[in-house]
Structure 1
Amino acid sequence: MRVVVVGATGNVGTAILTRFQNEPGVELVGVARRAPRDDAPPYVGVEWHALDVGVSGAVERLTPVFEGADAVVCVAWALQPNHDERRMHRTDVTGTRHVAEAAARAGVPQFVYASSVGTYAESTKRVRRDESWPATGLASSVYSRHKAINEEWLDAFQLEHPEVVVSRLRPGLVLQQGAAAEIIGLFAGRRVPTRWLQRATPPILPLSRRFVSQVVHATDLAEAFWRVVDLRAGGAFNIATEPVVDPALVAGVLDTRTIPFPYRALRLLVSATWRLRVQPTDPGWVDIAAKVPVMSTERARTILGWSPKVPADAAVAAMVVGIAERSNVESSPALRG
């Protein structure tokens, strides 16, 4: 089996490489804007192609790379610079279309897209939503808008290319210790000190009660990707572990206590500091935490036989350790300056 992973050096891509390398007879091809050093796991033994999927001519360059593949897995995504939506759109939306179009042109029988819980429309947290919940996103979030645009476009792509099995994985927040340095840089900034967490915990944690979210450890998400490819399973799959993450769970992991922080006040604070470029997290992420639904994962469990191994509190704890140690995946070009 030959599988091409586009965006193979990021948080999700590295986990996919690691999981797929455990399967005998799987030939892996990695596509990234910058190819990594291929002398360390999980990059060793992978055929690498350095290519920016958002540029003009990307379809023509990707097509020969994809020829002979059994599946193309697209996890390429730009979370920054979120002050420049047009630049992000080039990778997130245009780049995704280039990858899918090249896969169809190359005759690849399956296209697997990494969507997100962020693609869903607003919902109460009290009711679990399955994959039929509208994937129309939140208008206030660039990330959510781009995911929803891609989902709508993939509906049309499926109609135009019925010979291609289109699979969409919609995970919660993806956590792994080795991606901590990357995530710190994306959401807090590379200069924010975090090593003090090795010696102490915050005395209080101000969080909105509306922050009820789902997470999944990267290894469990990678397992879902493998099962989708191995079974050539089409359609959408919600991917998340239990229990649901709320302020009490986070406080328990950090061994601290929470104090209620009004959602609107927090959003105003994040918005103001983002606009002043004090920190890189735009207010749309506050809305995602407060407004996206709690997903049902029954379809993944039934059709894929998928069951997560890492519970939510353990996944959060691993991420906290990674943040304290500023852990990163060896040789990742995203972290080499």
Structure 2
Amino acid sequence: MRISVTGATGNVGSALLRRLTGSGQHQVTGLARRLPDAGYTDPDVTWVAVDLTRESCAPALRAAFAGADAVIHLAWGFQPSHDQDYLERLALDGTRRVIEAATAEQVPHLVHMSSIGAYSAKVDDEPVAEDWPTEGIASSWYGRTKAAAERMLDAHEASGRSPVVTRMRPGIVGQRSAGSALLRYGVPGLVPAAALDWLPVLPMDRRLRVPMVHSDDVAAAVEQVLLRRATGAFNLAAEPPLTTDRIAKALGARPLHVPSAVLRPLMSAAWHARLQQVDPGWLDLAFGLPLLDTSRARRELGWVPTVDAQTVFEETLAGMRGAASDRTSVLRPRSVAAQLRAAVRQGPVSSRQQP
């Protein structure tokens, strides 16, 4: 099978390439804004540099999709969090361009990496199936863009044109090699990774319930979707959901109940002051999104997660503590010295202009 993958150098993309190239059954084209280091993947992977925020990428996209049996669209962005116009261009203009190119090249199958973030707010802690509304959470740019991308897919499907569409909706996706990337996204640049071991207390609302899944298990589900030409939406999550107590235990910290209504203004003030790079919409997501019913993936894909959610979190946390990385720009090593040099040259990551 010939498969083109956007965002192939990221957290899910790296796991997916391991999966697809490991079987020897697929020819893979990887697309990314910045290409990986030599020797990063199987030598048979063809790499194409594409910046989805630019209209000029359309010819390269069409060439990369020509003759493909499937396109897997993973590309998304998380920083700079103070440049949400850029993030929305990547998410929405990028998704539109992928749909247009796949349609123009008559690719039979488009697999879109949506997210739990596309779902509307929960009403309780009962897991929801794929028919739960996908209107996002308005205060989160991530939720808004994931929901808006789903509307683009709705419009494409209503047109009756090829490709057919599959939507993957995983919970939080983790693996060890994403450690450095997650540190850059969530921890101020001057704070060393070792600081994760210095946290005696975790101030967090005890109501937290968050689904999580391993990158390799997401990759396994995507491969089954390709092989079975399964369409529609699939929730992906492992048990048990993360809670404040479980997170605190993994950190070796004591949980301290602080209502999210108290945490939010503090988080917002720190974000606006550029003291940390995580905007308060992520807190709204954490406490607003539902748990996931994965029955459809288990029934129609034969999918069963191989790693439980607590182990996924502990592996990812170990990757953050060790600043684990891979040979791509997205998963590159993170160090305080490198972060300091970048901050001096380019400003804080939360408002840094993209090259």
| TM bracket, shorter-chain basis | over 0.9
Name the structure 1 match of 2:24: 24
Hey, what's the Cα distance between the residues in 2 that align with 1:162 and 1:235? 15
* 1:260-300, Cα deviation, whole Å (9 max, x unpaired): 01111111111001111111100000000000011101111
Per the TM alignment, residue 333 of structure 1 is displaced from its structure 2 partner at its CA by 5.4
Aligned-pair Cα RMSD in Å: 1.5
Identity value in percent: 38
> 1:301 maps to which residue?
298
- The separation in 2 between residues aligned to 1:304 and 1:295, in whole angstroms, is 16
Q: Is the 8 A contact 2:201 2:253 kept in 1?
A: yes
Q: Tell me the equivalent position of 1:74.
A: 73
Please tell me whether the aligned partners of residues 125 and 212 of structure 1 are also in contact (alpha carbons under 8 angstroms). Answer: no
Counterpart contact for 1:165–1:233, Cα < 8 Å:
no
CA offsets 1:243-274 (integer angstroms, 9 cap, x no match): 01111211232333211011111111110011
Letter matched to residue 259 of structure 1: L
- Is the CA contact (8 Å cut-off) linking 2:117 and 2:285 kept in structure 1? yes
Query: Are the aligned partners of 1:38 and 1:44 in contact in 2 as well (CA < 8 Å)?
Result: no
1:35–1:333 CA contact under 8 A, matched in 2: no
In the alignment, what sits opposite 1:89?
88
Per-residue Cα deviation, 1:161-182 (whole angstroms, up to 9, x for no partner): 4432100000101111101101
Residue 53 of structure 2 corresponds to residue 54 of structure 1: yes
Structure 2 partner of 1:328: 325
SS at match of 1:14: helix
Structure 1 segment 103-142 matched on structure 2, within 5 A: 103-142=102-141
Partner of 2:110: helix, strand, or coil? Answer: strand
1:258 aligns with 255
Provide TM-score, normalisation by structure 1: 0.95
Q: Is the CA contact 1:103–1:111 (under 8 Å) kept in the aligned structure 2?
A: yes
Q: 1:124: how far off?
A: 2.7
**Equivalent in 241, 246, 257 of residue 244 of structure 1:** 241
Q: Which residue of 207, 225, 236 maps to 1:228?
A: 225
The 5 A counterparts of 1:134-213 are: 134-197=133-196, 200=197, 202-213=199-210
Name the SS of the counterpart of 1:89 in structure 2: helix
Bigger mean CA deviation after superposition, 114-123 or 252-261: 252-261
What secondary structure is seen at the aligned counterpart in 2 of 1:279?
coil
Between the aligned partners of 2:331 and 2:159, the Cα distance in structure 1 is 35
Equivalent-residue separation in structure 2 for 1:10 and 1:3 (angstroms): 17
CA distance in 2, matches of 1:202, 1:333: 27
Q: Which residue among 315, 320, 324 is the counterpart of 1:318? A: 315
| Greater shift in the superposed pair: 52-61 or 71-80 | 52-61
Label 1:196 to 1:267 Cα distance change in 2 as closer, same or farther (>3 A).
Answer: closer
Would the alpha carbon gap of residues 256 and 148 (structure 1) be closer, same or farther in structure 2, given more than 3 Å must change? same
1:290 to 287, 291, 298: 287
Q: List gaps (5 residues or longer) in structure 1.
A: none
CA contact (8 A) 1:113 1:168 kept: yes
Distance change (3 Å), C-alpha of 1:334 and 1:241 = closer
Q: Given residue 250 of structure 2, which amino acid in structure 1 is its aligned partner?
A: V
List gaps (5 residues or longer) in structure 2: 334-341, 343-355
Shift of 1:209: 1.7
Q: Which residue number in structure 2 is paired with residue 33 of structure 1?
A: 33
Equivalent position SS for 1:95 = helix
Corresponding letter in the other structure for 2:22: N
Structure 1, 145-154 or 185-194: larger mean CA deviation: 185-194
SS in 1 for 2:25: coil
Q: How far off is 1:46 after superposition?
A: 1.1
Q: Secondary structure at the match of 1:242?
A: strand
Question: 2:91, 2:296 → 1: CA distance?
Answer: 26
TM-score normalised per structure 2: 0.90
User: How many angstroms does 1:214 deviate by?
Assistant: 0.4
Q: Distance in 1 between matches of 2:305 and 2:61?
A: 33
Matched-pair contact (CA < 8 Å) for 2:33–2:51: yes
Q: CA–CA distance in 2 between the matches of 1:165 and 1:263?
A: 40
Equivalent position amino acid for 1:8 in 2: A
Please say if residues 36 and 43 of structure 1, whose CA atoms lie closer than 8 Å, have aligned partners that are also in contact.
no
